[in-house]
Structure 1
């Protein structure tokens, strides 16, 4: 395994934490965002300078039209995360909030900040699981509490998801977009989590060889790099099929043909991660980007927001010379 934090701009993030800044981390699914930020939270708490925890908004998705129920579900989930990640002496003394609907997230964070022995650094995962009024409510609560940091609100907050939440245009009723500025315009920086480099892929495969004695041929390694472009889930999935299904004899090397067969098996199995991406291809705004690329046409007429959306999903990548592929 490679430490997920190596693919983060950790030095820049630590600088922002010293500045009490709020920021965003966005990257496609299954790239290691949660793992990286969980490890960073542990590191920050262990430093003795902060109390840091990774919490999630995912359970709030079950209540898309009810802010109060979503808040209650989210806070219940947060309690479990805090209890698991932090020693008891760093827990908040009060787990419940009597605040009215639409203020419960902020109230919980305020009360904890006021009593905390160190500045709070909160990493909020799965922010884009929330929709419409629930999402707007949470973002506005964070924005409203921002001026009170670090005494009465977290010193730093990071929102983690598929997209840059600063650019969200939240759909509402019959109107295409809410006529309101971004509810999270307090974020000063947006980070992403890069894919593995070719060298990192080779390092991962070499770890398997060191542990088992089974090598990947140079050609097989290059094929994995070419097929995955370093997408972490794909790298691990291809290698797993190769070593656990196709070549169980550890004295035999993994060849290019094995990698190609592993690719076909992953496609045929329609695993959840790949199925989700397939479903996205049916969206009109995705097709408007993908179809011109496949036809070799320019994307000048395609809205930038649509191009960013498809890139954030991991369906296309930005080229160093400009454009998408």
Structure 2
């Protein structure tokens, strides 16, 4: 029986080709030279966001090395050291992790002749190198980013102490340190924010590599494995949708495919996968808040990450943002990407999760709508909805603004929460936001009909008329670009467009002058 007939798209733990549809992760390595690390006896770092294939790669490379006769390799997860910042606790835990993995992979089990945490790791690795001689030893340390403080410094110093004598029977000839961020960032954190200097305890690395996301062709190659084994097809438009929504993030790609083929459709189905199946899969992923996305939501509690997200949501230009440690953190964690030279949230699914997470409290506090906000055909009466929002903004904004963690993005967040309160169950909101654009774009679909909403802020030194003229042009430009992958109705020039301008000037006028409703030829303009 062909074991591959039962393969599936994996979203939990490392992938293996016997059980899962997968592409060789080494194809996505960037900035690495695998062919040199063993022969030239080099130490190196691999960093990439969560669930991009780091562990899958390490286990695959370990198997490849051990299938030959030239070297011995062992994968070692450092995860059991999480929360142990003192070397006295972390080093024994690390030694036990090494013993556990050596035993699990049928390799010689090393010993340490000392209880001194400052040399325990070094002596364990020396002993291990002797046990596997005459073959060189290669260690692949995973989850290194769980080490913090003095434990991290001790770990790196003991590796550096053995580096000069590395060789067969002496010390591992090559070591990979793998985690979500480049090691220099963790060293800086461990030293209280002091930048890394030439005296760094790990100035011996040859490379800092990473894993890229899937390219569009990779996504097609991945699903083609299922087609070859089951006969199930997927439309070209569906493949484009997966790439557009995930931007190739491996976990998201696999999760969309898994839900479409095993939840939306039956696992044994040969029905062609379409965009509609994947739209439903996307909504399920967001609603389920699986571990991957739950971890993303947790990251938003970090003030540094919140500051970056606020700049992206408002679209306000910030020339200093990309220079800060907070921005680099968001890049390393895969929350932010560079698109057309500017920073954006990494993909539309993350964008939706972030928006829902940070508006959830406000959404729950907004009363259930009691006014008539549907037309007789079941579509949204957006005029009625936005008039009600203006009243809600007047009555609540000044009090609610004092309670939110994102004061600059408060208008955007409150409007999104208000719209989500109505759209839940019958519609969806698509959001575009990126730093430097000076706006946020929303597209609201409800019972098959679309409305486009643009949000702009009126700052000190600018006039309402100037911002309105700029915003109308941007709104119509967004409507024009909002065609790919949407219904024909969304591409029609008649789709209703709204521009909301929030007055954020310190000396803003009284409410009777701020609240405006202006009907232009193509765009309805609201002052708030």
TM-score, structure 2 length as denominator? 0.57
Aligned partners of 1:22 and 1:187 also within 8 Å: yes
Whole-Å separation in 2 of the counterparts to 1:292 and 1:279: 19
Give, in whole Å, the separation in 1 of the partners of 2:63 and 2:159: 23
CA distance in 2, matches of 1:179, 1:191: 20
Corresponding residue SS for 2:234? coil
- In the alignment, what sits opposite 1:239? 257
Q: Does 1:281 align with 2:300?
A: yes
Q: Secondary structure at the residue paired with 2:128?
A: helix
1:11, distance to aligned residue in structure 2 (A): 7.3
Alpha-carbon contact 1:99-1:107 (below 8 Å) kept: no
Alignment of 1:268 onto 2:284 = no
Aligned counterparts, 1:245-260, within 5 A: 245-248=263-266, 250-260=269-279
Q: In 2, distance between residues paired with 1:17 and 1:3?
A: 20
Number of positions where the alignment pairs a residue of Structure 1 with one of Structure 2: 317
Question: Which of the numbers 35, 43, 53 marks the counterpart of 2:56?
Answer: 35
CA RMSD of aligned residues (A): 2.1
Structure 1 residues 218 and 100, CA, compared in 2 at 3 Å: closer, same or farther? same
Select the structure that is richer in helix.
Answer: 1
Give the TM-score normalised by structure 1: 0.90
* Structure 2 residue aligned with 1:128: 145
Shift of 1:47: 2.6
Residue 218 (structure 1) aligned with residue 254 (structure 2)? no
- Give the match for residue 227 of structure 2: 209
Q: Which residue does the alignment assign to 2:176? A: 158
1:295 Cα shift?
Answer: 2.8
- Residue 45 of structure 1: aligned partner: 66
Distance in 2 of aligned mates of 1:154 and 1:138: 14
Pick closer, same or farther for the CA change 1:48–1:166 going to 2, 3 Å.
Answer: farther
Structure with more of its chain in strand, by fraction: 2
What's the secondary structure of 2:38's corresponding residue?
helix
* CA offset digits 1:254-289 (Å, max 9, x no partner): 111111111111111111110111111221111222
Q: Which has the higher contact order (CA 8 A, sep 6+)?
A: 1
Q: In structure 1, the residue corresponding to 2:336 is in which secondary structure?
A: coil
CA displacement at 1:62 relative to structure 2: 4.2
> CA offset at residue 304 of structure 1?
3.9
The DSSP-based 3-state class of the residue aligned with 1:101 is coil
Is 2:155 the partner of 1:138?
yes
Residue 166 of structure 2 corresponds to which residue in structure 1?
149
Aligned pairs for 1:1-325 within 5 A? 1-8=22-29, 12-64=33-85, 66-86=86-106, 88=107, 91-92=108-109, 94-115=110-131, 116-151=133-168, 152-171=170-189, 176-178=192-194, 181=197, 182-248=200-266, 250-302=269-321, 303-319=323-339, 321-325=340-344
Any idea what SS the aligned residue of 1:71 has?
Answer: helix
SS in 2 for 1:195: coil
1:224–1:276 distance in 2 versus 1, CA, 3 Å:
same
CA distance in 1, matches of 2:332, 2:81: 22
Q: Is the 8 A contact 2:138 2:172 kept in 1?
A: yes
More divergent stretch after superposition (297-306 vs 136-145): 297-306
Larger radius of gyration: 2
Superposition deviation, residue 313 in structure 1: 0.6
Q: 1:74-117 CA deviation, whole Å, 9 max, x = no partner?
A: 2212212112224x5xx14x434324122111110112223422
Mapped to 2, the partners of 1:299 and 1:189 lie a distance apart of 31
SS in 1 for 2:342: coil
